[in-house]
């Protein structure tokens, strides 16, 4: 019998951002991360992470700690680290929603499970499908020269998809994409552009912007152009343009993924591991997408090394996650990482090499808790 969970701790660690991070939903200069620690009867410690923003998810690091301390931690005590189906059933029974809090617990349990068996997490959830993961780099809303310089630098580092945050001013967004196009042209490399409006457009503006920009072929996809609940609007946009439509905020769990697929409003799902309930739930959503003929990418809520490692293991073991992934985003935005080896040190030529150590294969810097 595998070891059982005997204690669950959650810590909050605040990490400054190198510069202001701005999207259509909010702007921030720092990020609070909730780190969940699961301790087993064998003394093994597993770690999970969530770093939700209130504007995006309706959760914060502080609510994650509160929910984990009062509800989720007690619910999983005594369970075996491999009993993920029972664990999620229990977590859903004690409190509705709070998918970021559940993600942190789920990731920590997977880490402990892998360490118990001396196996990487990817071996527990399907086996390794790919050795390295193609990445997209995200450029936030910023001034022209900064956007151009950042895109050019990351193109030179080997990123072949540049994701651009838009959604505030359509005319400005078109101009910004033209700047990124110039960076691509100046680099003389084959690079695609992904737009992410974070729900910022209305339907007519989204159609107009996409149609204006898609004629020259650089657009890889457009992510969440309108409100997350506007399935009809998403479907209307998808039918009016040639560029694939990706959804993110629309999907917080299995039911939302199924509704979106039934409503034919997306070509791609941005599957955020720390948003939808963790690794266990992510694999289920990926299976639904695969059955529907929809591809996936894994995105970021600005998690650092622990959350990034969880995303890496899901991407490594899941064939339908075939798009470029931007789950590395937080590693480039913060002043430091939560792990002894920073996540961005695992990136080369725009790809992340899959680590093969037990559990998540990373080491949490415990000194950050004492600080």
The rounded distance, in Å, linking the Cα atoms of 301 and 79 is 29
- At 296 the three-state DSSP class reads strand
**Site of tokens 């959830």:** 125
Strand order in the sheet with 351-353: 132-134, 351-353, 347-348
The two three-digit tokens of residue 176, written as one number: 């910004």
Q: Say if residues 236 and 203 touch (Cβ distance below 8 Å).
A: yes
What mean pLDDT value characterizes the chain? 95
Q: Say if residues 34 and 301 touch (Cβ distance below 8 Å).
A: no
The two three-digit tokens of residue 303, written as one number: 């998690």
The rounded distance, in Å, linking the Cα atoms of 236 and 230 is 10
Measured CA to CA in angstroms, residue 189 lies from 139, 313, 329 at distances of 18, 29, 22
Q: Say if residues 59 and 81 touch (Cβ distance below 8 Å).
A: no
The two three-digit tokens of residue 108, written as one number: 């920590």
Quick one: pLDDT at residue 272? Answer: 97
Quick one: pLDDT at residue 28? Answer: 85
Tell me which residue of 52, 166, 122 sits closest to 279, measured CA to CA: 122
Q: Say if residues 298 and 269 touch (Cβ distance below 8 Å).
A: no
For 81-141, the DSSP string reads TT-HHHHHHHHHHH-S--HHHHHHHHHHHHHHHHHHHT-BHHHHTT--S-SEEEBEEEE-S
- Active-site residue 272, yes or no? yes
pLDDT in tens, the chain (371 residues): 589 999 999 999 999 999 888 887 788 899 999 999 999 999 999 999 999 999 889 999 999 999 999 999 999 999 999 999 999 999 999 999 999 999 999 999 999 999 999 999 999 999 999 999 999 999 988 888 999 999 999 999 999 999 999 998 999 999 999 999 999 999 999 999 999 999 999 999 999 999 999 988 889 999 999 999 999 999 999 999 999 999 999 999 999 999 999 999 999 999 999 999 999 999 999 999 999 999 999 999 999 999 999 999 999 999 999 999 999 999 999 999 999 999 999 999 999 999 999 999 999 998 888 66
Q: Would you say the CATH fold of 124-353 matches that of 5-118?
A: no
For 126-137, the DSSP string reads T--S-SEEEBEE
The rounded distance, in Å, linking the Cα atoms of 58 and 53 is 7
- Tell me which DSSP letter residue 226 carries: S
Quick one: pLDDT at residue 148? Answer: 93
The rounded distance, in Å, linking the Cα atoms of 50 and 35 is 7
Task: Output the CA angle 296-299-305, nearest 5 degrees.
Answer: 130
Kindly name the residue from 65, 154, 163, 272 that is annotated as catalytic. 272
For 328-371, the DSSP string reads THHHHHBSS-SBSS-GGGGEETTEEEPP-SSBTS--B-THHHH-
Measured CA to CA in angstroms, residue 165 lies from 52, 68, 81, 180, 186 at distances of 18, 32, 39, 12, 21
Kindly name the residue from 65, 115, 154, 165 that is annotated as catalytic. 165
Number of Cβ within 10 Å of residue 232's Cβ equals: 12
- Active-site residue 165, yes or no? yes
Quick one: pLDDT at residue 19? Answer: 87
Render pLDDT for 155-201 as a digit per residue (tens, 0 to 9). 999 999 999 999 989 999 999 999 999 999 999 999 999 999 999 99
Helix and strand element counts for the chain (H, E): 15, 13
Quick one: pLDDT at residue 164? Answer: 94
Domain assignments of the chain as residue spans, ordered by start? 5-118, 124-353
Q: Of the CATH numbers 3.40.50.410, 3.40.640.10, 3.20.20.120, 3.30.420.40, which one belongs to the domain with range 124-353?
A: 3.20.20.120
Quick one: pLDDT at residue 24? Answer: 78
Domain 5-118, CATH = 3.30.390.10
Return all residues near 146 (Cβ < 8 A) that are at least 6 apart: none
The rounded distance, in Å, linking the Cα atoms of 120 and 348 is 21
């Amino acid at each position: 019998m595998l070891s059982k969970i005997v204690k669950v701790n959650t810590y909050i660690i605040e990490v400054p951002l190198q510069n202001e991070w701005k999207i259509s939903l909010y702007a921030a200069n720092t990020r609070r991360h909730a780190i969940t620690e699961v301790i087993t009867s064998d003394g093994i410690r597993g770690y999970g992470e969530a770093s939700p923003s209130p504007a995006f998810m309706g959760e914060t690091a502080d609510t994650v700690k509160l929910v984990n301390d009062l509800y989720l931690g007690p619910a999983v005590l005594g369970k075996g680290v491999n009993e993920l189906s029972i664990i999620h059933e229990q977590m859903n029974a004690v409190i509705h929603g709070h998918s970021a809090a559940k993600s942190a617990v789920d990731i920590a349990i997977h880490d402990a499970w892998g360490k118990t068996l001396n196996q990487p997490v990817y071996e527990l959830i399907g086996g390794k499908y790919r050795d390295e993961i193609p990445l997209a780099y995200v450029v936030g809303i910023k001034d022209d020269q900064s956007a151009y310089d950042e895109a050019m630098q990351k193109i030179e580092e080997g990123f072949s998809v540049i994701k651009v945050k838009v959604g505030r001013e359509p005319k400005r967004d078109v101009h910004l994409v033209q700047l990124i196009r110039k960076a691509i042209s100046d680099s003389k490399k084959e690079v695609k552009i992904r737009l992410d409006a974070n729900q910022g457009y209305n339907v007519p503006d989204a159609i107009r912007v996409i149609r204006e920009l898609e004629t020259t072929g650089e657009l890889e996809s457009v992510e969440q152009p309108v409100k997350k609940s506007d399935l009809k609007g998403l479907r209307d946009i998808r039918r009016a343009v040639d560029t694939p439509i990706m959804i993110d905020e629309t999907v917080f769990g299995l039911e939302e993924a199924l509704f979106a697929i039934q409503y034919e409003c997306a070509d791609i799902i941005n599957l955020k591991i720390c948003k939808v309930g963790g690794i266990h739930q992510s694999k289920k959503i990926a299976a639904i997408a695969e059955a529907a003929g929809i591809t996936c990418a894994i995105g970021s809520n600005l998690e650092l090394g622990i959350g990034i490692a969880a995303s890496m293991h899901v991407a490594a073991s899941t064939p339908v996650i075939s798009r470029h992934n931007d789950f590395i985003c937080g590693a480039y935005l913060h002043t430091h990482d939560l792990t002894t080896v920073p996540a961005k040190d695992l990136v080369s030529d725009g790809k992340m090499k899959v680590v093969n150590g037990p559990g998540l294969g990373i080491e949490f810097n415990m000194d950050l808790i004492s600080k």
